[in-house]
Amino acid sequence: MDSAMLRTLVEVQSRASAHGGGSGGDEASHPLAAPAKAVPRTYPGAPHVRGDSVELQRLPTHGQAAAGTGTDSFGDGDVEMSRPSTPTSGGGTAAPVATIATVWHPFMNRFRLLAMCLTNLGNALSDGAAGALIPYMEKYYNIGYGVVSLIFVGQALGFVVAALVLDTLRNRLGRARLLGLGQAMMTLAYVPLVAEAPFVLVVFAFFFVGFGIAVNVAMGNTFCGGLHNGTLMLGLLHGCYGVGGIAGPLVATALVTVAHAVWARYYIITLGISLLTLVLTLWTFWGYEKEEADEEKEQRRRQQQRRQRERRESSGSGSASGEQQQQMPGTTEVSSPPSPSPSPPPLLSMFTALRLRVVLLGAVFIFAYQGAEVSISGWVISFLIHGRGGDPSSVGYVSAGFWAGITLGRFFLSAAGAQRLGEKRFVYGLVAGALAFQLLVWWVPNVVGDAVAVSVVGLLLGPIYPCAAAVFMRGMASRDVLSGMGTISACGSLGGAVAPFITGLLAQAVGTSVLHPIVIFLFVVMLLCWYGVPLEDKRTE
């Protein structure tokens, strides 16, 4: 295309634009030019007035921060980004973040867990054998159901006394001496049992056995529940109780039926285990309070370093408070640790714990739970002998099957069920299933079928205690855990004595079949209490 044709084309386009309208004509008459100068605009969202200045915070370099403290100190927000903001104490100062101990750290925790599992094993060897030995104790002392049930009453009184003085003794003696005291009392209690003392002394001996078991249960629940993955640790602790519950009836029945020994010889085994745990608990828990004190001092030191760093940053930027500016150079503000409050009276401590909703409902729940557990273990053999016509040498092992179910449930179902379903729904299903199988034991007139159903009841009852204990401890502040769990454990052991005692009295009047309505009533009480227990995902302090 030559230049003449290009000029002709431009002229044609220009004429067409001129006849197209006003806007087009204006564009044609004015040649293209540079855009207008941009005008600065002040936005209402961020007003700016000339002369205003913005102060910038001076951030210390890594070398400056390290030179002041000798180490890198981090705020509470740097410790764990996923947790909520740290609660503050009364003065607005962030409280130190408590580290959660594990079974591997501190180093002695692995041996402490072993010691608590052995003490729980000894507890179960004493509790589990009672049901198998009751028929032989009746023959030896020539007494009935109502009188032999006094051993449960004596043990219950020991639990109640322990609950009253547990918190006070812990504050005065420490964990090691308190556990040693409990094991020493159990050791002395087994001596009259081995010596075949009169039945009155046997009842008094079970009082001291109950006191020692209450100490073991409260301290074991508190220690294992405070570890990382507390539900699993509680499952191991109470699983060892189930192991003792299996071994106790088996060994006791074999001694009196196969070896033809006197029932009292069985308690030589529990005497030896109590001596072993006496030494082991004193050794493992001797420095427990010192470790806690050292950990608290370390947390306060880190908290003080963090406050010093914040004061240096504030003074460097010129925005320090007047109180900080008046502080003399070279001085640091040291927060004195709170003075330990005097321990309340024992009875007041127990009733103070019961004022908490979770403690009150938990106490009634565990009262019903252990009442049903010990009633089944203690009286199901008598029911199978007199109600079903079973052979005493054979049905004596049914109690071992019941405790075997409890052990398997605590070892293999506690953590898995709690993690998949949550403790709340899991316990609902367990109690409902146990109630259904208890009805089968009542209505199916067959010894073998009843024995299998009793074992399934034990399997379903097993995970309930560790799951419930984990829920109870999450609902309490750390300062209330020992007194609260001690009260719950004492009420549970009280239920483990009152329910079998009432069952024995009624069995003497109307027969051993009264066991089943009592147990079913206790299961219903558990469901009602569990409905009212608040569910906390984690502690709120």
Q: How many whole angstroms separate alpha carbon 435 and alpha carbon 433?
A: 5
Residue 103 and residue 248 in contact, taking contact as beta carbons nearer than 8 Å: no
> Residue 323, Cα to own-chain centre: how many angstroms?
43
Find the DSSP H helices in 258-341: 267-284, 288-317, 322-325
- Return the residue matching tokens 């069920």: 417
Under 8 Å between Cβ of 418 and 470: yes
User: 94 forms bridges with which residues in the sheet?
Assistant: 88
Cα angle 288, 292, 295 (rounded to 5 degrees) comes to 140
Q: How far out from the chain centre does Cα 216 lie?
A: 15
CA angle centred on 493, ends 490 and 495, rounded to 5°:
110
Q: What is the DSSP letter of 462?
A: T
Contacts of 410 (CB under 8 A, 6+ apart): 235, 236, 238, 239, 241, 242, 462, 463, 465, 466
- The structure tokens listed for 13 are 């386009």
Contact (Cβ atoms closer than 8 angstroms) between residue 304 and residue 296: no
How far apart are alpha carbons 402 and 456 in whole angstroms? Answer: 7
Q: Residue 141 has which token pair?
A: 């002392």
Architecture category of domain 109-290+343-532 in CATH: Up-down Bundle (1.20)
DSSP code, position 218: H
- Domain extent listing, the chain: 109-290+343-532
Do residues 186 and 122 lie in contact, with contact meaning Cβ atoms separated by under 8 Å? yes
Burial of 57 (0-12, 13-18, 19+ CB in 10 A): exposed
* CA end-to-end distance (rounded Å), the chain: 88
Q: Model's pTM, two decimal places?
A: 0.64
Amino acid found at 92: G
Give, to the nearest 10 degrees, the angle between helix 357-386 and helix 464-474: 170
Name the DSSP letter for residue 259: S
CB 370 within 8 A of CB 156: no
Beta-bridge partners for 88: 94
Q: How far is the C-alpha of 129 from the C-alpha of 136, rounded, in Å?
A: 11
DSSP, res 103: S
Taking the C-alpha atoms of residue 278 and residue 276, their distance in angstroms, rounded to an integer, is 5
Q: What is the pLDDT of residue 2?
A: 61
The encoded tokens of residue 178 equal 């308190």
pLDDT digit of tens for each residue in the chain (541 aa)?
566 666 666 565 555 555 554 444 455 555 566 666 665 555 555 555 555 565 666 665 544 444 444 444 444 444 444 444 444 444 444 444 556 777 787 788 889 999 999 999 999 899 888 878 888 898 899 988 778 888 888 888 888 888 788 878 888 888 889 999 999 999 999 999 999 999 999 999 999 999 999 899 888 888 888 788 877 888 888 888 888 888 888 899 889 888 889 999 999 999 999 999 999 999 999 888 787 777 777 777 878 888 888 887 777 655 444 444 444 444 444 444 444 445 555 555 666 677 788 889 999 999 999 999 989 988 888 888 888 888 877 787 888 889 889 888 888 888 788 788 888 899 999 999 999 999 999 998 888 899 999 999 999 998 998 889 888 888 887 777 777 887 887 788 788 878 988 998 898 888 888 999 999 999 999 999 999 988 765 555 4
Cα Rg, the chain, nearest whole Å: 36
